[in-house]
Amino acid sequence: MAAGFRIAAVAALLLLAAACAPRQRQAAPLPAPTQPPASSQWIGRDIIQAACLNDLVATGAKFELIAQAEPGKDGCTLQNGVRLISTSVDLVRPAEMTCPLALRLMQFEKDVLLPEAQRVFGQPLKQINHAGAFTCKRMTGNGSRISEHGHGRAIDIWGFVLADGRRISVADHFRARGPEGQYLRGVSREACRFFAVVLSPNADAAHAKSFHWDISEWKRCGS
Ligand SMILES: [Zn+2]
């Protein structure tokens, strides 16, 4: 089945869902197919993706759909991919990831990143600095496996910017005594409630400068 058609089908479902979103918080009912699908497998996957996109629209995130590419030669794939342009704050640059990771990030931002910035600094968060989400690379410490980044299920965060321009970086402030360190250590601890694997400078030397948050099937809280 052509990728273009699939994207068009998802986009149509998304538009329908987005139109209904302001009136109800739950996923809008999806239209019944008028003829038997050529492959029930991809239809099922696209309905799940449409529900995720519907929820992502409701968060106010700005994003674009990414056409699904064939797996790369290393086995890296991005299924149900979105290019996240901004959340409720700025991103240092757009980030490509699965819709479920984008949704989890939005929830974490709303429940932890934003209120913690307000509580610790008395001002809003303005920007998230990340070092990429979907990128084809191997796991640190186990080079035979593809990292969760290779499937768009992980993101690396190296810092934040506050409304007044103040910069907070994992490399400079994670172990600092001031409010920057308090903020970074606090959000890293809380990240374990939202993500499957959380790695910080406390986890290993490879994460001395950035947090790794993913939604893999493993569970590790290295915050
Ligand atoms: Zn990572």
Distance from the alpha carbon of residue 43 to the mean position of ligand 1, in angstroms: 31
Q: How far is the CA of 202 from the centre of ligand 1 (A)?
A: 14
pLDDT band at 33 (very low <50, low <70, confident <90, very high): very low
pLDDT digits (tens, 9 = 90+) for 122-132: 999 999 999 99
15 C-alpha to center of ligand 1: Å? 32
Cα–Cα distance for residue pair 126/173, rounded to 1 Å: 18
How much distance in Å is there from the Cα of 156 to the middle of ligand 1?
5
pTM to 2 decimal places: 0.80
CA distances from 146 to 41, 104, 113 (A): 25, 21, 29
Instruction: Quote the tokens at residue 152.
Output: 């768009």
Residue 149: pLDDT over 90: yes
Looking at per-residue pLDDT, the higher value among 50 and 214 belongs to: 214
Task: Check pLDDT > 60 for residue 4.
Answer: no
Q: 213: CA distance to ligand 1 center in Å? A: 7
How far apart are the CA of 212 and the centre of ligand 1, in A?
Answer: 4
- Between the CA of 155 and the centroid of ligand 1 the distance, in Å, is 6
Which domains does the chain possess? 1-59 (no CATH), 61-68+79-223 (3.30.1380)
Q: How far is the CA of 149 from the centre of ligand 1 (A)?
A: 6
- CA nearest neighbour of 155 among 170, 178, 179, 133: 133
Distance 218 CA to ligand 1 centre (A): 14
| Least confident interval from 24-33, 46-55, 160-169 | 24-33
Q: How far is the CA of 98 from the centre of ligand 1 (A)?
A: 14
